[in-house]
Each structure stands twice: as C-alpha cells, then as structure tokens.
Chains A and B, each alone.
Chain A
Amino acid sequence: MSTAYEIVTDTTLTFHQQFINLAKLGENTDTTLPYNPEFLKAKEAGMICDLFEGALPFRPRYILPDYSILMKNGSKFLQLDPPKDIWEATSALMIMYRHVPSVSSFPVFLGNLDELLDPFIVDEQEATKAIGLFLLHIDRVLCDSFVHADIGPKDTKAGRIILKETLRLQTAVPNMTVRYDPELTSDEFGALCAEVMLSTAKPSFANHKMFSAEFGEKNYGLASCYNGLRIAGGGYTLPRLRLANIAKEATSIEHFKNVLLPKYVDLMTEFMDLRIRFMVEDSAFFKSNFLVKEGFIKQENFVGMFGLVGLAECVNTLMGIGDKKKGYGNNKNADDLGEEIIAHLDHLVSLHKAPYSENSADRYWLHAQVGIERDGLDSSPGARIPIGSEPEIHKQIAHSGRFHKYFPTGIGDIFRFEETWKNTPESLLDIIKGAMNAGMRYFSGYCENNDVVRVTGYLVKRSELEKLDRKEAVLNGATVLGQGSRDLAHALDRKVTK
C-alpha cells in the first residue's frame, strides 16, 4: 500500500482516485477487529487474500438496491417524488446512484435498466436522447468498471434503445449483462445483444434459468464483474482462497483435500463471520442508512461470498503436470480432480453455519474470483483454463459447464472472436444457446480489435491503457487494474475463435 505522500503526489491518479486511496489508508489504521493471528499468517503466506477490503468494514462489499421502489415511491431521504417521465426517471436514478456505497465507493449495481425505464418510453426519439445522456453520465461520473447494469430477459423498447446507445457510445462503463433465456428472450433481441457484445464487449449473457432456480426469477441481479446476488440485498464480503499456493504446500492430493482445505476453509469462514457480525451488529450501515430505512435493501438478503482463485494451477501442481497445455482444461483426469476439489470445498463450506445469511440457507456461497493483476501467470481466474492453453471453444464450454453450477455468486468465461463474427451475430447466439444448455452460467465475448475489451470480468478501453502507459491520468479507476492484468497475466491474449 502506498503512503499518503505517494498517493497525493501520484500524477496518474485523479483527485477522486487519490481521495479513495487516502480513505482506505485511514481505515487500515484501525485495529478494532481481532483477526486470528493464524489467519494473518495465512494471508501473509499468500494462502488467503482479503482483496484489500479494508480493516474495518463499514458497508457491505456489494449492494444491489431494489430500484423499483424508487420508481414507485421515490425516496424520502433523497427528497425525490416518484418519476413521471423518462427525464425524471433517469434523473432520479442518477441521483440515487451517487448514494449507493460499495467496496470501490461506486455503485456496483444500477438495476434492471430496461424494466425500470420501459414504462416511461413514450416518444422513442426523446427516450433515445434521455437514455443516451443517462449512459454518458454513468460512464463519465461513475467512472469505475465495476459499475454494472442489467437488461433482459424480455425484449423491450427500452432494452433496444439501451443497446443502440451502448453501441454508439463505446464506453467501458457500465459493465452490462443480459439475463438470457431462449424461452423468454426473442431470437431477435438475443442476436442484437450478441451483435453489440461483439463490438463493445457487452452485454455478457447470464443463464437466466440457472439463476432463477437458485434465487427466484425476479430476485437476482448481476453486479460488479459477474456476481450473482440477491436484489434488495448483496454480498457482505469476498475473501478468496489462493488454491494454487495452497497446493504447493500439499504433500499429496489426500493431504490437500483432508488437511489443508479444511484448515483454510475454517480460517476464512471465521474471518468472514467476524467481518459480517461487525457490519451487522456494530457499524452504522444496517442501522441508519436510508437504503435500509426505506426498504431498498434488507439485511437478510445479503450473503457472504466464499471466493477462490487458481484452480487450474492447483490441479496441475497436485498432479505434477508441468505443461499447461496437457493439464487442467485439456486432460480428463485433471478436470475430474478439479471438480472433485470444488465439490469437496463446497461441502466443507456448507458445513459452516454463516451468520446473518437468512435467505441464503445460512451458508456462504462460492464465488470464482477473477483474479487481480498481481496474481500474474501463477494463478488463473477462478476455475478458468489458463490463457494460452484454451482448447477449441466447444470443449472450453463443456469444461465450463462442469464447474459453473457450483458458483451461484459468480463465475464466467470469456471468448475472443475474429472480426467476421460481427456479420453473423445469430451464429454466436447459436453457440450461446448451446452453452446455456451445457450448464454454462455466464458467457462473455468480444472481438479482437475493439477499443473496449474485457480483461477478466470488467471492461477497459485500450485507448485509456495507452494513456496510462504514457503516465497520464485516466478517468476510469479500473484501467490501472487492466494495465496490470495485461502486463502480468497476459489477460488480453486469450485464444481467438475464427
């Protein structure tokens, strides 16, 4: 972590980015929470990572307000009446976003935008202007790639306008997901989403059937990268097990499964318990924040996210596989061991009774974390196949299908396509339909030459990366993360489907 002096003299940071970094520095001087020394040792040794959430959790990591309440009732605290037209609706949302906290200080969930705005579409030309300005405002003011909006599954006028304006604006923010179900989403709307995705790397496709079965059809949203969470709720905290490093400590597969995994699961769940109890019992957030008071969120809809990273390298290490191209993702025995590990981990986590997780079966839910820039090449995102070792796309999808069911709070795969696919979005939709049927939870794609590209789970603009390379400040706070992932983890070099 940089010092205060380093932060305020760093010319690549905007004022707001300096401000956030200084706040984090301040938070981390606090020593209230009695973290287990064993946990701190495991963190120091690189077995567990807390993703720099800060020493004293004063808000949940991810918050998904139920914005339909704003549309229906307005907000007393924000002194807003229920909106009556498209201008008032977009304005009310923009005002509210400023007041939705998160780990990054930006709102990580903007709502199901098409459902929220569709009732206000009267004149399409006027609505296009309003939505265009709304999306521009989001990119320039909520300048963080983890700001995320959802559309779908139904084909609506608002949805089409959002897609059209997304295509025109070519922005990295907001990240976007279409909740997709071939039975509810028209082929025409699906193909339009695929077309826009090929040109701007968004929206990604979420398996609506799968999420609906776990959360209830109307109850989930996609936030931040690809995090499936309850609307009117969210995710309390997200630490992660670094499986690649834990595997290096193992003397055998049995030792890994029966000794090391239980040990680190215990340390991590204890850490999560401590943070969540503090958030709910002591911090002001759940007592006084207007989001709670006005019913935009309910504490019982939050869940702790149990993250993991580096399954591929973990399996390869345990099996003594040196050549990645012959390991996890390209080797049935390695894939079998990978699934065995995840199923076992899921079982261990399920045995722990999680506090304040009333609507989540009193347990923590698994999350395949996308990695951070400093993970480098030693630890692939979540359960993904290492970049550079991807098999043919249909094999990669079948592989994803084996693992995605274990991760309701988020997992996804990214595919890079050659430019010709822009001519045939309906062909891409064929692949996506097949992927959903094969049990894939979340499908992202982009074309190789776009300005907007998907790094691990979030978007950046190549043009901003170039500015940062020249040591100039850039608006989007996540561009620096993309720069690290590009340089250290080759995140932009994934296989191209021709």
Chain B
Amino acid sequence: MLFAPVNRIIPFSNVDGPGNRMAIFLQSCPFQCWYCHNPETINMCIHCGVCVPGCPSKALTMTDGKVHWNESLCEQCDSCIKICPHLASPKILTMSSDDVIEKLREVAPFVRGITVSGGECMMHPEFLEELFGKVKALNMTSLIDSNGFVRFEEYPGLMGVCDGVMLDVKATDPRFHQQLTKYDNTSVLNNLRYLLSANKLTEVRIVCLPRFDEQNRKTIEDVVSIVKDQARIKLIRYRPYGVRKEGLDILGSASLDEEMFSEYKRYALSLGAGNVISV
C-alpha cells in the first residue's frame, strides 16, 4: 500500500472537472508561481516549529523534533500557514489509497469520481496509479489536475487508469515561464502534445495576468494552435487572493480588468478554439 501527503480533501467540488467531484489536494510542488493561491502547498514541512507557539487552539505540539497536528483540536484559523516561513503547512495527513477510498465512499452517491490536484499531484505518480485503480473498481472516474512538470508518457500504467488530465499551461514563452515558475516549460509543452494525442486532455488552463498582455496573448495563440478545437480551454482571471508578497509586487493587488479578460476569450475563439470558458 502506498501513501501520500494530503493537504486537504473537499468532498464536493464543482470546479475540478466535469460534474460534482471529490477533490484531493496533495502536498508539495516544484513550481513557485508568482500568483500561487495556496503557497502553503509548495513545500513539505521541515519541522522547524515556528508555527507551534502561535496556535490559538493548541492543536500543534513539538515532540521528538517533529511538529504534530491534532486535527480534532484545530479550528482551521490558518495562523500556522500565515506564519510558516517555508511555504509549507503542518496540517498534512499521510493517507493511504485506502484511506482516500474510505472518504470517497462517504460521498460516492453524489459524485462522478475524484480529481487529484495539489501542490503537484504528479510528484506521487505511483500513489495515483494505485488509487485510480481502486476508484475504477467503484465505477467512478479519476482526473488529474497538473502543472505538467512530470512527463505523463513515462507512466503508461497511470495513464491506463486515469480518465483525463487538466493541464496548466502557465506560459508558452520559455523565458517567461522560467521567471514565473522558476522552471522551464519543455516538459509542459511535451505533455500538452502527448495528452492530446493520447486523448487524455480534458482541459487546458491558462491564467491571464495583469501587466503581461503580450505574454497572455502569446500563450493563448500557441495553445490554440496546438489544441485547436480538440479540448476545452479554461481561461482563469488573475485574482490577488492568497497571493504572497513576491507575487503581489509583480502582479498587483487588483484582479485582471474584466473587459480585458473578456477580450482574451474572444481572442481565443477567433483563433479557432472550440470550447472556451472563462472563470
């Protein structure tokens, strides 16, 4: 049995793939995007203990050099996340695939399946393969929400039990991608082509940023030229909620202008995209 660090589970989610789904967020992500809304999912806890004294409900304790989180005492005030200097969270549960399946059984009548997100869930591909196999046995579907850092091609077993991938393409310009996420985008673009040809591309997601009109347009142009009308494109409007100071300094504390955002949708459609939604 394999295990993975779970940041949280949302029993009902209507924004993570088709229909109502249970969404599972795994901890840790190699990218450090400027606009990350959940920066506490980026790193694993290093047990420095900085968060322990600040917990108002005494749910955090330090024993044997490790931070322990008592879920039943926790009031989800997120003080620990706000104070953490390492972009991590002490509130991580190590769950087995059976633990996740047990959670799924509670909501099974109401959902079409699961979507695993993150962090970057492809940091745990073997876990996903085991989990998805069990989900399939329940006649439900499994989707991956990924930043494309890990190459899907290298995991044919996982692809066999995965019903689709929602892929973030954060930028198609390699240099801009490097600045934005701290990594280059070769694997992301490879994944985009591979998933499309393997018929596993459920959706491509593009975050439209303020102050980077040219980059927004380039990403849309390049993605549409590859995907055409073969997969849904979801344009996401930059919003400042949860974004850390580094990102706010570059992108600002206002959401992307609404008129500008609508223009991007029209642009994508004019280039030949089939199905574009904007949120």
Contact = CB atoms under 8 A, between A and B. Distances in A.
B112 interface: yes
A216 B28 CA distance: 56
A423 B110 contact: no
A426 B107 contact: no
Given A423-B279, A431-B12, A394 B107 contact: yes
Interface in A394-426: 394, 397, 420-421, 423-424, 426
A81 B158 CA distance: 68
Given A392-B11, A394-B12, A420-B14, A430 B19 contact: yes
A424 B12 CA distance: 12
A421 B14 contact: yes
Contact of B12 (A423, A437, A497): A497
A428 interface: yes
Interface in A421-460: 421, 423-424, 426-428, 430-431, 433-435, 437-438
B12 A393 contact: yes
B15 A420 contact: yes
Nearest to B13: A427
Contact of A437 (B11, B109, B112): B109
A430 B20 contact: yes
Interface in B250-279: 277, 279
Interface string A204-226: 00000000000000000000000
Nearest to A395: B106
B111 interface: yes
Contacts of B20: 424, 427-428, 430-431
A159 to B, nearest CB: 23
Contacts of B110: 394, 397, 430-431, 433-435
B18 interface: yes
A433 B111 CA distance: 9
Nearest to B12: A393
Contacts of A423: 14, 277, 279
Nearest to B111: A430
A427 B279 CA distance: 16
Interface string A260-282: 00000000000000000000000
Contact of B14 (A392, A428, A433, A435): A428
Contacts of B107: 394, 434
Interface residues on A, range: 10 to 19
Contacts of B15: 420, 424
Listed residue (A392, A394, A421, A433) with the most chain B CB atoms within 10 angstroms of its CB: A394
B19 A394 contact: no
Given A421-B14, A431-B12, A497-B12, A438 B19 contact: no
Contacts of B111: 430, 434
A221 to B, nearest CB: 27
A424 B14 CA distance: 7
Contacts of A392: 11-12
Contacts of B12: 392-394, 431, 497
Interface string A323-348: 00000000000000000000000000
Contacts of A393: 11-12
A394 B11 contact: yes
B237 to A, nearest CB: 13
Given A394-B12, A420-B14, A426 B19 contact: yes
Nearest to A421: B14
Nearest to B279: A423
A423 B19 CA distance: 11
B83 to A, nearest CB: 25
A394 B22 CA distance: 11
Contacts of B277: 423
Interface residues on B, range: 10 to 19
Interface string A63-95: 000000000000000000000000000000000
Nearest to B10: A498
A397 B14 CA distance: 17
A389 B20 CA distance: 24
B57 to A, nearest CB: 16
B246 to A, nearest CB: 27
A91 B95 CA distance: 63
A404 B18 CA distance: 30
Interface in A148-182: none
A430 B19 CA distance: 7
B279 A430 contact: no
A430 B106 CA distance: 15
Listed residue (A420, A423, A426, A431) with the most chain B CB atoms within 10 angstroms of its CB: A431
Given A423-B279, A426-B19, A434 B11 contact: no
B112 A430 contact: yes
Interface string B191-224: 0000000000000000000000000000000000
A392 B10 CA distance: 10
A178 B110 CA distance: 19
A483 B20 CA distance: 34
A421 B15 CA distance: 9
Contacts of B18: 426
A90 B277 CA distance: 39
A190 B107 CA distance: 21
Contact of A427 (B11, B19, B106, B109): B19
Contacts of A438: 109
A394 B14 contact: no
Contacts of A428: 14, 20
Nearest to A417: B14
Contacts of A437: 109
Interface in A443-498: 497
Contacts of A497: 12
Listed residue (A424, A427, A433) with the most chain B CB atoms within 10 angstroms of its CB: A427
B241 to A, nearest CB: 14
A428 B277 CA distance: 19
Contacts of A435: 109-110
A84 B260 CA distance: 53
Interface string B1-42: 000000000011011001111000000000000000000000
B110 to A, nearest CB: 3
A428 B19 CA distance: 8
B74 to A, nearest CB: 16
A445 to B, nearest CB: 13
A361 B42 CA distance: 64
A420 B279 CA distance: 9
Q: Which 10 A-B pairs have the closest CB atoms?
A: A434-B110, A434-B109, A427-B14, A430-B20, A427-B20, A424-B14, A394-B107, A431-B110, A430-B19, A437-B109
Interface of A: 392-394, 397, 420-421, 423-424, 426-428, 430-431, 433-435, 437-438, 497
Given A420-B14, A434-B111, 15 more contacts: A392-B12, A394-B12, A394-B106, A397-B110, A424-B14, A424-B19, A426-B18, A427-B19, A427-B20, A427-B21, A430-B19, A430-B111, A431-B110, A433-B110, A434-B107
9 contacts: A392-B11, A394-B110, A420-B14, A420-B279, A424-B20, A430-B19, A430-B20, A430-B110, A435-B110
